Structures are given as structure tokens and as C-alpha cells.
Amino acid sequence: MSKRNSISLKNGLTAAALALAATAFYGCDNSTAQNSLPIYGEREPVERTVDGKTVIDTIYHQIPDFAFVDQDSQRVTQETVAGKVYVTDFFFTSCPTICPKMKTQMLRVYEAYKDNPNVVLLSHSIDPAHDTVAVLKDYADRLGVETAKWHLLTGDKDSIYTMAEAYLAAAQEDEGAEGGFSHSGDFYLIDQQRRIRGHYNGTEEEDVDRLIRDIPLLLNEKKDEK
């Protein structure tokens, strides 16, 4: 059982630090209404001077630019998700353990937001050598999903693993793990400014229910800002 959801120690610690940071954040931010989502990751206060006064801005952890290819050989970059809310995860098509469950759950998110152009799904393959465009195409067709909504991504392996770190996700090659890779089954919810706003266990229905409920909070946030 533990083998299935194996997370490396390093990543485990990152997750713990993240959880701690989130708690600390909540602790001093009681004013926020319950129906807004935390912003995860490191934050950095930056001082700047406006009209002779010092103002402190907070710079939040932001998902860096990226460039991958999807099941239709289309380039998918930060432009693809610009101004949109997206849900992302890491998987591989030949994964014998948690991936089929993750995909069953991601399909529920897909169905729930099928008709909303402001929500996109990105699933990164952590075995890009095997998961070529053709393999991903077959997988997507068999799942019965539309590319415009749900991009299955392949590309440069190092870039994919670097992105996994940016999402604070656990993903690594691991000969000891079934299928040759170990990764967490988490789904990450990313806002219009490419900030991490939630993480969910993608193998658990109740947690994915929570994700489905959280998405509108981000969609409405955009409206409020205008």
C-alpha cells in the first residue's frame, strides 16, 4: 500500500513544509472569508517606494513558463492557460498503480467543467520516452476526451520533472516502484495568475468533490477583481 503512493523523503518534506506554511498563513489571515482559497508556496515581501512611502508587496510562488506538446501535437504553453483556471497532475499511460483511479477522478472534473472554456486540464506524462504523442492520442481517444479541454502532455523529460517541482509535486524515476516511476496522485488547482491554490488526493472521490467545489471560487475571484 505504501509503495503505491510512495513519495520520496525530500518531496515529503517539501509537502510538510508547504502544509506548515499554509497553516501559518491561515493563522494570521483570519479576516479572509471561508470561501476563499489559500495561496500555496513560498512568498517574498518586496519593498518598493510609492510617492516617498514604503509599500510592501508580496510576490507569490508562480508556476514558471513551460512548453510541452499534447496528444494532437499542439504546443501547450503558459499562453494556453492564460487567464484560465487549470487542474494539473502527473501520470504515465503504462502505470499499474494509482493512475487509472486518478484518471477516473479527473474524468469527473472534466465532465463537471466540460462546457466552461475558462477551465482547462493538463496531465503531464512522467514517462515521456514511452508516452509519445501517438501513445497519448490513443489514450485520450480511449478516455473519450477533447483536446481543447484536457491536454495530455509530453516533452523534454527534465523539463517535465522541473515542472513537477514547481507544482510541489512528487515525481521521480524509481526502479523499485511498480512501473518504474513513483509519483503522488495529487491534483493541483492553479489560478489565473498561475499560483497554486489547492491540492487534492486524485485517487479519492471526496477530495475530488472538494476540488470540483473549489473551482468556482477561483472563477468568481477573477470577476470580483474587475
Partner 1 sequence: MGAFALTTLTQCFTKKKDEGKRLYETHCQSCHMDDGSGLKSLIPPLAQADYLQTQRDQLPCIIRHGMDGSIVVNGVEYNKEMPGVEHLRVDHITNLLNYIQTNFGNDNPRYTMQEVEELLEACPPTR
In the annotated binding site for Cu cation, the residues are: 95, 99, 183
Does position 177 interact with partner 1 (CB under 8 A)? The reply is no
Q: Name the residue among 61, 118, 57 with its Cα closest to residue 87.
A: 118
CA 145, 104, 119: angle at the middle one, nearest 5?
Answer: 50
CB-nearer residue toward partner 1: 4 or 43? 4
- Cβ atoms of 126 and 91 within 8 Å: the answer is yes
CB-nearer residue toward partner 1: 139 or 181? 139
CB-nearer residue toward partner 1: 67 or 133? 133
User: Exactly one of 15, 22, 37, 143 binds partner 1 (CB under 8 A); which one?
Assistant: 143
Q: Rounded to an integer, what distance in angstroms lies between the CA atom of residue 193 and that of residue 99?
A: 28
- Cβ atoms of 185 and 1 within 8 Å: the answer is no
User: Exactly one of 4, 149, 157, 210 binds partner 1 (CB under 8 A); which one?
Assistant: 4
Does position 142 interact with partner 1 (CB under 8 A)? The reply is yes
Q: How far is the CB of 180 from partner 1 (least distance, A)?
A: 12
- Cβ atoms of 113 and 215 within 8 Å: the answer is yes
Q: How far is the CB of 143 from partner 1 (least distance, A)?
A: 5
Q: Name the residue among 158, 143, 132 with its Cα closest to residue 69.
A: 132
Does position 12 interact with partner 1 (CB under 8 A)? The reply is no
CB-nearer residue toward partner 1: 98 or 168? 98
User: Exactly one of 107, 112, 133, 219 binds partner 1 (CB under 8 A); which one?
Assistant: 107
Q: Rounded to an integer, what distance in angstroms lies between the CA atom of residue 22 and that of residue 26?
A: 6
For residue 177, the 8-state DSSP code is S
Does position 194 interact with partner 1 (CB under 8 A)? The reply is no
Q: Rounded to an integer, what distance in angstroms lies between the CA atom of residue 101 and that of residue 109?
A: 13
Applying CB under 8 A, what is the total number of residues that bind partner 1?
Answer: 15
Report the b/e string of 95-118 with b at 16+ CB within 10 A: bebbbebbbebbbebbebbeeeee
User: Exactly one of 8, 104, 116, 147 binds partner 1 (CB under 8 A); which one?
Assistant: 104
Residue 64-103 contact track with partner 1, rule CB under 8 A, x = bound: ------------------------------x-xxx-xx-x
Site residues (CB under 8 A) for partner 1?
4, 94, 96-98, 100-101, 103-104, 107, 139, 141-144
